[in-house]
Each structure stands twice: as C-alpha cells, then as structure tokens.
Amino acid sequence: MNGKSVTLETGAAMQQALLAYGLLWCLGLYLRLTVLIVPPLIPQLKAVLGFTGGEVATATSLPLVTLAIGGLMTGWLLTRLGVRTCVLGGLAVMAIGSSLRSLPEGFLPFMLATLLMGAGIALVQAAMPVLAKLWAPARIGRASAVYTNGLLVGELLATGATGPLVTAWLGAQWQWAFTLWVLPVPLLMLALVLGSRRLPAMAGGSRAAGLILPDTRDGRMWRLVALLGAAAALYFTGNVFLPPLLEESSRLALLAPSLTALNGAQMLSSALLILYADRLMGRPWPLITITALALLALPLMLWLPGTGVVWAAGVFGFFTSALFIFVLALPAWLVGLEALPRLMAGMLCFGYLLVFAITVVGGWLNDLSGVVALAFLPTLLISLVAMASTHRLLVSRQSEA
C-alpha cells in the first residue's frame, strides 16, 4: 500500500514537473521570436522602407531599451499585480505591438510599435526567473535551460522560417509576417490560465507594494549586468551584422543557412544544459571558457571563405546560447525569492541598456568605416569585462551562505 502511494505521488510529481517545464518552454518561445523577425527582413526594410544600417540595428535592438526601462517597473509590477497577471498582460501587449508593425510604412511608426512590443516582452522576461524558482526550486538551472530552449526555438523559427514564409506566402505583403507569428498567443494565454491551477501558486499582488529600485551598491548586480551585456551583445551583434557581412562578400545567398546555423546550434547547447546546468552552476570555469570560445568563433565567422561562414556561425551560436542560459539562471541561484525582483530589475535595466548601446555603436562603426569587423569591437570589450568579474560574482553567493 505504501509502495503504491509512493508511486502515485511520484507520478503526480512527474506530471507536475512536465507541466511546469512545458509552460516555461512555451513562454520562452515568445521572449525573442518577435524581436528576431527583423534580421531576415533586412533587405526589404532597406529597399522598401529605406532603412539605413544604423536604423536596422536600432530596429532590432530597440526592444532591449524597453526591456531596460521596463526593468525598473517590473519588480514593482510583479509585487503589485502578481506574477500571473504580469505574464498574461505581457503576452497580450507583446502580440499587439508586434501586429502593429505590419501597418506602418516609415521608421518612426515602426519604432513606436516596436517599443510597445518590447514593453510586453519586458513583463514576461522579468517573471521567468520567478516562475523557475517557484515551480522548480531544486532545479533552477534546468528550468532556466528549458525556457531558454523555448526562447531559442522562437529565435530559430523567426530567423530561419521568416524568409521562406515571406517568399512562399506573403510576397509583397511581407510586413504581415509580424502579425502571423503572434496568432497563437491567445492559445498560450489560455494554457497558462488552465495549467497554472495544478502548479505551486503564483504570488498574488499587493496594492501596498512600492516602487522597487535597483540597489546600485550591490556588486552582484553590476557583475550580472556585465555578463548579460556580453551574452546578449554577442547574440544580437551576430544576428544584426551577419547580413551586411555576407552582402559585403557577395554571399547574401548564404544568409538563411547562416542564420539558421547560428540559431540552430543553440538548440544543442540548450539541450545539453537541460541535463547538466545544475551540475555546473556555481563554477567559474564554464562561464569563462564559454565566453572565450564564443569570442574565438567571431574571427572565424568574419573571415572564413565560402560556406565556412555557415559552420562558424553554428559554433558561435552554440557557445553564445550556453552563456546566455547561465546568465538567466544566475539571479535565481544567487538570491532568495524575496530579493529576486529587485536584482532582476537592476540586471534587466542596466544590462539591456548596455546591450542596446553596444549594438547601436557597432552599427555606427560599421556605417562610418564600412568595415563590418569593427561592429564587433564593443562586444569584445564587454565580454572581456564579464570574464574578469565572473569569479567574484559566484563567490558572493558562497560568502552569503
């Protein structure tokens, strides 16, 4: 009888875990999908809407500014409105903002719709570490790898399938790609409402909650900012400046396979970290090694001839993804649930402002010099800073414990 009871409890726990991981994966799917629709449409944005290289970089990275500004508000909103309300509201706002990008015909309207979309993403992004800690407190690394895997699938779909989708179905109506990708969002919202009833309760809101500002004296926050800056800048600069790199070398036909390789290789690293992230969490050498290998892949992507750029993009994507997964998992690993919204607010605010600046400065360097390689210089600098600060960040949790 006892054995049967244990079996039932184990089965129920497994079902609960699978449900939690499934919802986390589906939410992760939309953390970057609508952002990465832009790179495959860069030729159309330039030819039809007249965007410059700098404007394309801004269009791709502008949601990061919203993530940054939203980072100041999300900690307060999570406490005041509750996690579920923030996630559902964020999904709705993200879908509306992305759909509005199908309508404008100029740079400014496109940017305003992108800002609205980014505000929705900011709400969902800030809630993900809280959900991981609530639903999988003993497997934070795995939960983070799961929703990051969903994020990467979204990126892969956006970068790899948007071009063929436009060619096969949309043609001259290419801007409607921004709407088509968010049509499943209402179904996801319904699944979250129904599925969350069988999971640990998501914290409710409190009208007494005040505005939570980042603690600028917290060294852990600034080290997380450097790591987030490195991980996100590596990824965004890789996607934004790969098209001009191929165009410069008359290999634009390799754009789709190169973007697919860059984003597809991330699937492998995220799958491996679903199994091993918790074992590696807290050790400095994985973070330092992964960052160094991502940097070493950059020269290969820039200078390998012919189809070698496709393979180099895959190597670059593999290590960039692994770094990003660790960065997303670290806040929930470093601090308790009550301190997490404040740490996330600072990390998202300053981290994504940093990434936006890095991407835009890279675009300006490319425009001014005509040399694509110089666009990666700011990314190289922040990556070196992140590597230097990794050990102290991890030791800070050990000293508190």
Task: Give pLDDT, residue 209.
Answer: 45
Closest CA to 325 of 288, 255, 384, 270: 270
Q: Is 224 exposed, middle or buried (0-12, 13-18, 19+ CB in 10 A)?
A: buried
The structure's pTM equals 0.78
Nearby residues of 129 by Cβ (< 8 Å), 6 or more positions away:
144, 328, 329, 331, 332, 340, 344
Residues 6+ apart with CB under 8 A from 111: 58, 59, 62
C-alpha angle 282/393/376, rounded to 5°?
100
Domain ranges across the chain:
2-400
DSSP assignment of 324-370, as one string?
HHHHHHHHHHHS-TTTHHHHHHHHHHHHHHHHHHHHHHHHHHHHHH-
> What pLDDT does residue 348 have?
84
Choose among 33, 22, 60: nearest CA to 185.
33
CATH pick for 2-400 out of 3.90.1720.10, 3.20.20.70, 1.25.40.10, 1.20.1250.20: 1.20.1250.20
pLDDT digits (tens, 9 = 90+) for 349-375: 888 888 888 888 888 888 888 888 888
Per-residue pLDDT, 230: 94
Q: What is the model's pLDDT at position 6?
A: 44
Segment holding 19, helix H or strand E: helix 2-29
- pLDDT for residue 81: 79
pLDDT averaged per 10 residues, the chain (length 401): 51 82 94 87 79 75 74 75 87 95 82 89 88 86 91 83 87 90 95 81 50 81 94 83 79 81 83 88 89 89 82 91 90 84 85 85 86 88 94 75 39
CB 237 within 8 A of CB 362: yes
